[in-house]
Amino acid sequence: MRCRFQSVVAVALCAVCPGVAGSAERRHSVSLPSPQLAFRGTETYEANGFDFVRYQYDVTNKGKYPKALFATSPDLPACGENSSPSRAAVAIFDTTHKRITEFCSLPAPDYLGRLWFAVAKGTSPPTGVYIEITDRLTGGKARSNVVPVPEAQ
């Protein structure tokens, strides 16, 4: 009798809350907007006695990303040495799909306008780059357009 009662309760719960069983699946199917990457410029700087060129980029449609995507998520695994990263990870890749750098602690969508990577001054940069934004909670990913990288002046 007890097993039959538990089965009836389980069936009743599924009938009352049909979305419960598929909620995790829907959470994984949330799609992120495709980032529209644009080159902003370069700047030279010195660090630890070495000169570098910083290549700066902007995601022009950053306003389409929810603030919740950039919330600190200490319940998610560490990202590099960061033990309290945001939910979003933003990686910059070259056209051979090699990761150049990754940002794990962007605090808000506006910070998608401050992406950058650096190369030693006098070193050729990659010919082009793109970014990939990953929602570390759901596993959702969005890849940008490829943007040519100009030689530094």
Residues above pLDDT 70, as percent of the chain: 80
pTM score of the predicted model: 0.79
Residue predicted with more confidence, 126 or 25: 126
Which pLDDT tens digit goes with each residue over 121-152? 999 999 999 999 999 999 999 999 999 999 87
The more confident residue out of 79 and 117 is: 117
Q: Which residues touch 136 (CB under 8 Å, ≥6 apart)?
A: 73, 76, 77, 79, 85, 87, 88, 89
- pLDDT for residue 97 is more than 80: yes
